[in-house]
Amino acid sequence: MGTDTSKLLRRAGLRPTRQRVALATLLFGAGNRHVTAEILHEEAVRAGERVSLATVYNTLHQFKRAGLLREIAIGGQRAYFDTNTSNHNHYFIEGDGKLMDIPGDTIRVDGLPEPPEDLKISHIDVVVRLVPK
């Protein structure tokens, strides 16, 4: 995956440093994922990578700016990073702190206001919060 990850980073305009390649391999090596910086940091440490939590935060934000990740803020207190950058919506399981994709185009949003003339809507984030019955 290292060579593929390096190519992915280069195509996104990022230099494939050792730490970026290691974090990208963890992020993109197993399909679409939702991670926090803390989760990714823990995975990196378990994989034997010497990387600080601050570096993980910085790298996730670099990946986001490069278009490799989407950031989903939950209640202003926790940020999740999604490797699926398509326009889609999420369930948030409150007790577990788990974020999951809502399948398909099952959510419809009506009555959106017209944006100012010089702006357009890029996407709409819908997070449906779930709790046990």
Q: What is the pLDDT of residues 10-34, one digit of tens each?
A: 999 999 999 999 999 999 988 889 9
Phi then psi for residue 68, to 5 deg, are -85, -20
Predicted confidence (pLDDT) at residue 123 exceeds the cutoff of 60: yes
Helix axes 37-46, 18-28, angle to 10 degrees: 110
pTM: 0.86
Q: Please report the domains of the chain, with CATH numbers, ordered by start residue.
A: 2-130 (1.10.10.10)
